[in-house]
């Protein structure tokens, strides 16, 4: 009994939080993902770099179950998600339940313009988890405090800077207490002077133990915060390594060429 429990516990610890195997996706005849193998473990931060159009966003969207893969598996804590055990795509209602464990932040914040920051965050709790208005608002305020926006909770998106709006979007994802957070170029739509405040929030989350995958062009952030950096090119992973290795001693010519353009 004890042995069985220990074994199960050890297995759970070793399992990636989120994992994709042999992931394929094509749009029309355009093969965008060509058998990607990728995983993130509990508390790990993975940065994903790569040229435009290499398939980074597509991988995140598939991982977040926002669209189906053509082939391959996506697993959360070792359990396949997005498909039935027989391999059929799950219906929307079942997908919605599985999506709750995976938070996603996009380049565009997509806040509701007619709702205050607090209500934007509370709406997620209310709509997705059915939590009552009062409690949802209380938790929204606590989450806005965590991203440094307690003073802005009553403001509408139009009254907030882009950086502040993105922090609201981060709070909206966090309030659902996801097991893993996916960031898809969260600072690309921001004026340069607003990038830092969003990266600071993300760094705080990373230091606090959040499991994160970050698609980004912010090389310095990747070097400073990530446990591992991945280079995507043309739908495949070219190189994955710890930041010092990746940036100072890349093994692949493609990585060297990529870094020569971004450094």
Ligand X SMILES: Nc1ncnc2c1ncn2[C@@H]1O[C@H](COP(=O)(O)OP(=O)(O)OP(=O)(O)O)[C@@H](O)[C@H]1O
Q: Tell me which residues touch ligand X (CB under 6 A).
A: 27, 30, 32, 50, 52-58
Closest approach, Cβ 189 to ligand X, in A, equals 11
Q: Which residues pair with 228 in a beta bridge?
A: 46
Closest approach, Cβ 62 to ligand X, in A, equals 9
Smaller CB separation from ligand X, 55 or 163: 55
Closest approach, Cβ 129 to ligand X, in A, equals 29
Closest approach, Cβ 167 to ligand X, in A, equals 21
Smaller CB separation from ligand X, 53 or 68: 53
Smaller CB separation from ligand X, 27 or 92: 27
Smaller CB separation from ligand X, 126 or 217: 217
Whether the Cβ atoms of residue 120 and residue 111 lie closer than 8 Å to each other: yes
Smaller CB separation from ligand X, 14 or 52: 52
Closest approach, Cβ 70 to ligand X, in A, equals 13
Smaller CB separation from ligand X, 35 or 53: 53
Written in H, E and C, the secondary structure of the chain is CHHHHHHHHHHHHHCCCEEEEEEEEEECCEEEEEEEEEEECCCCEEEEECCCCCCHHHHHHHHCCCCCCCEEEEEECCEEECECCCCCECCHHHHHHHHCCEEEECCCCCCCCCCCHHHHHHHHHHHHHCCCHHHHHHHHHHHHHHCCCHHHCCCCHHHCCHHHHHHHHHHHHHCCCCCEEEEECCCCCCCHHHHHHHHHHHHHHHHCCCCEEEECCCHHHHHHHCCEEEEEECCEEEEEECHHHHHHCCCCHHHHHHHHHHC
CA distances from 125 to 145, 182, 197 (A): 16, 18, 25
Smaller CB separation from ligand X, 70 or 145: 70
Closest approach, Cβ 99 to ligand X, in A, equals 18
Closest approach, Cβ 176 to ligand X, in A, equals 24
């Amino acid at each position: 009994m004890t042995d069985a429990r220990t074994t199960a516990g050890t297995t759970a610890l070793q399992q990636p939080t989120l994992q994709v195997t042999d992931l394929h996706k094509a749009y029309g005849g355009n093969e965008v993902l060509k058998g990607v193998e990728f995983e993130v473990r509990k508390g790990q931060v993975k940065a994903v770099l790569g040229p435009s159009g290499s398939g980074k966003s597509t991988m995140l969207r598939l991982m977040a179950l926002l669209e189906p893969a053509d082939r391959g598996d996506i697993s959360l804590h070792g359990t396949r998600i997005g498909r039935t055990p027989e391999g059929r795509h799950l219906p929307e209602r079942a997908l919605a339940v599985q999506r709750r464990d995976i938070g996603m932040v996009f380049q565009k914040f997509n806040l509701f313009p007619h709702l205050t920051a607090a209500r934007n965050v509370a709406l997620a709790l209310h709509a997705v988890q059915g939590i009552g208005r009062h409690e949802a608002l209380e938790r929204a305020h606590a989450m806005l405090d965590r991203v440094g926006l307690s003073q802005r909770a009553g403001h509408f998106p139009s009254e907030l800077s882009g950086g502040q709006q993105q922090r609201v979007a981060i709070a909206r994802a966090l309030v659902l207490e996801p097991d893993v957070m996916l960031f898809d170029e969260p600072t690309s739509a921001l004026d340069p002077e607003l990038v830092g405040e969003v990266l600071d929030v993300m760094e705080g989350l990373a230091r606090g133990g959040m499991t994160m995958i970050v698609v980004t062009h912010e090389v310095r952030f990747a070097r400073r915060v990530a446990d591992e950096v991945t280079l995507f090119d043309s739908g495949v992973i070219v190189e994955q390594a710890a930041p010092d290795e990746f940036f100072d001693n890349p093994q692949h010519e493609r990585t060297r060429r990529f870094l020569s353009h971004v450094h």
